[in-house]
Structure 1
Amino acid sequence: MTTMNRRHDIDWVRVIAIGLLLIYHIAIGFQSWGIMIGFIANEKTWGSLWIPMSMLNIWRIPLLFFVSGMGVYFALQNRNWQQLLGERSARILLPFIFGFFVIVPLHHYVWQHHYKLTYTYTPGPDHLWFLGNIFSYVLIFTPLFYYMKKNENGKVAQAIRKTISHPLGVLVMIGAFVAEALIIKPFPYELYALTWHGYFLGLIAFFFGFCFILSGQAFWNMIVRWKWAFLSIATVLLLVRLLYFQMNVPVYLLVTESDCWILSVLAFAYRYLNKPSQALRYLSEAAYPIYIIHMIFLFLGSFLVFNLDIDVRIQFVLVSIFTFVGCFGFYEFVIRRIRLFRMLFGLKINSAKREDMAIQSNAIV
């Protein structure tokens, strides 16, 4: 039987992944192609930022899908399938709809103002596409996950546990992602948002995330034992990709690198971050609404800073500070304190039960 203890490391992974997402989005504004994907792009580019961006880009989004799948397992600890769907509708679907019609048009207005375009109301998923995907995965997998959770000693769960907990079981997961890429043929591989590639990659990661927790202690002991191997393989493949293949890297190498980064992050987090803290409690709740609103403050910061005649590196720091301070300030003084906003941003209305918050937040992005 899988342990039911709280997993603070998973909360930390989720918080760190969303923090990296914000930094990555800030960095896009300093790339010449940023305007092509709807960002405010700086006339002063910082090309060397692409090196760390390239390292992050093949695993930062898949990691969030894995964590979201893990969260469903925890949510099923004390819910039936109807309760799960009801809770996920309130915490994922409602914020997605609110963001679609309110949040996204707001940052579009900033974008239009910066480029001196006619103001138009433009609702859409934009960066919130992730929430739409996650909610659909919950609908698709709830019957299977509920069955597997209720029959953890059954043949299906035992087979998954036996496979995933063995080092060679990693090859099964890698094979699933390789098959997806060979069928969909994405180019570039890192184009996840609003694509079939992003949808099916997320579907696979969501499933395996659930299976990781279902597999219990044996899986986590295995990845901790092999953590340095996963990290070494990922590092070597990154160097090979950057120095030799560049944009023409074979998909099986991309998938292997991505999964090894993810497994190493999970392993090191389990080994060193599985402990409670006041900072984690606060950040675990704040991460979700900050993900939803961050594009507004990023675009406002870009609009204000990009016109300053200062070094591009200082501009990057200033935009980063503006984005993070703006997001945390709006969360602390508006979202966190106003009941309606808590509901619209997917937070628990009653925030007094903080002890349950870390586990339940795992199920969101």
Structure 2
Amino acid sequence: MNKRQYYIDWIRTGLIFSVFFFHVGMVFNGWDWHIKNDVRLESLNPFMAMLHAWRMPLLFLVSGAGTRFALGFRSKRKYFAERSKRLLLPLVFGILVLVPVQVYIEKISSYSSLWDFYTHFFEGVYPKGNFSWHHLWFIVYLYFISIVFIPFISFFRSNYYQTVVETGLEKLSSMKGGSGLLFIPILLSQLLLRPYFPVETHAFYNDWAYLTLFFIYFLLGFALLGNSRVVENIKAQRRIWFLGGILAFAGWMMLSGASNLLAVNILREVTALLMSWLISLAILGYGKKYLNKDHRLRKALNEAIYPFYLIHQPVILVVGYWVLAISTGVLTKAILLIIWSLVICAILYIGIITRTRYLAGCFGLKR
């Protein structure tokens, strides 16, 4: 599959924008976050929990697919160098420049200025201390997964994989509902690890259940979406994945309102994992059907989406700090937060990041 798969670009762009709106929602829903509106909308919680169940796994899935297309015939050394330049440099820059702004806004009453806070940034680890990578956890995890993936490259390039494994995946995906069975390794990994690492922390050292989950999605994206026959089979069965995702969501909602018995909690988590996989397949199937076409905006959005991910959360927090001080309704605050955050992100990207040679490199762009 050498031809560019435009639907993957569109899905990736949509997922990053979903992250933006998710973080806007975090300002107003019932969960704790860095800044909160005085009136909380508990009704947002179930919808955002459902969105969170599949949003980031699917992002790792398309990252795996993007890695397969970008890898080509590169050597492992060149792959390592490219991943380090593309991920490690923006990560370090983001931790030193973007994250301090976010932690400062959250703890603004304790410091006289941003510079005063920055002199204390390396004192302890967040939340008790100040040092953190905040939303850049995704970059940390993706870089780690990319490096751990290097030994697998030889296997994916082997004759055994191309003649035996890929043929098996094609046969499995051609069966009605066959691709859904790939949920099994996802389930087994979580049954083994969730008892020891039950909470998604984004702290890396104690987040091995979710890190493994994302790694499996990355591998599945690399294996499945690089095979045109498998993708066509997923597209052909897109209605199955959509219906299955709806049913799994309904089951998950019912279990969410049930008792807190251990068996019910386990069944709810299993249902959430199944919902995540089926919704991911549905989005891939419908994306391949309707989004696999180029547009003059696709390339520009595809280039801008990585810097947008890096800057969107500090912008939301800075804008949100001022918007939440306005005496007005929740809807007005949300609209103001969305509009001004998008405008400022656009100004930063178009007016500064893309016009500064070395800054562009710090945001993962080609200089």
Interval of TM-score (by shorter of Structure 1 and Structure 2): 0.7 to 0.9
SS at match of 2:107: helix
2:114 aligned partner: none
AA paired with 1:84? Y
Q: Is the 8 A contact 2:180 2:277 kept in 1?
A: no
Alignment correspondent of 2:137: 129
Contact 1:107 1:296 in 2 (8 A): yes
Shift of 1:43: 1.0
Structure 2 partner of 1:305: 323
Does the 8 A contact of 1:161 with 1:211 survive in 2?
no
**Match among 301, 320, 324 for residue 283 of structure 1:** 301
Matched, 1:117 2:134: no
270, 281, 289: which one aligns with 1:263: 281
Structure 1 residue matching 2:110: 3-state secondary structure: coil
1:344 Cα deviation from its structure 2 partner: 0.5
Alpha-carbon displacement from aligned partner over 1:126-164 (angstroms, at most 9, x marks no partner)? 111111111111111123224413646343443444445
2:52 is aligned to: 57
Q: CA deviation at 1:86?
A: 0.8
Asked if 1 retains the 8 angstrom alpha-carbon contact of 2:91 and 2:139, the reply is yes
Partner of residue 338 from structure 1, selected from 342, 356, 360 = 356
CA distance in 1, matches of 2:196, 2:151: 33
> Quick one: distance in 1 between partners of 2:346 and 2:198?
32
Shift of 1:189: 7.2
2:90 and 2:281 map into 1 onto residues whose CA distance is 30
Q: What is the 5 A alignment of 1:14-163?
A: 14-35=12-33, 39-113=34-108, 116-118=109-111, 119=117, 120-121=120-121, 122-149=130-157, 151=159, 153-163=162-172
In structure 2, the partner of 1:352 is none
1:236 aligns with 2:247: yes
Alignment of 1:156-175 (within 5 A): 156-164=165-173, 166-175=175-184
1:187-225 C-alpha deviation (Å, 9 max, x unpaired): 9978362322221111110110101123x2221111111
- Asked whether 1:274 is paired with 2:298, we answer no
- Residue 24 of structure 1 and its aligned partner are, at CA, apart by 0.5
Do structure 1's residue 213 and structure 2's residue 242 form an aligned pair?
Answer: no
Q: Which letter maps to 2:360?
A: R
SS in 2 for 1:67: helix
Q: Which has the higher contact order (CA 8 A, sep 6+)?
A: 1
Letter matched to residue 228 of structure 2: Q
**2:223 aligned with 1:203:** no
Aligned length: 341
> How far off its partner does 1:78 sit?
4.4
Cα distance, 1:186 vs structure 2: 6.4
Structure 1, unmatched stretches of 5+, are: 350-365
CA distance in structure 2 between the partners assigned to 1:11 and 1:106 by the alignment: 30
Q: Distance in 1 between matches of 2:72 and 2:365?
A: 19
In the alignment, is the contact (CA less than 8 A) between 2:63 and 2:221 conserved in 1?
yes
Tell me if the contact between 1:181 and 1:251 (Cα under 8 Å) persists in the aligned partners: no
Distance 2:186 2:237 in 1: 21
AA aligned opposite 2:6: H
Q: Which one is further off, 81-90 or 163-172?
A: 163-172
The answer as to 2:281 corresponding to 1:293 is no
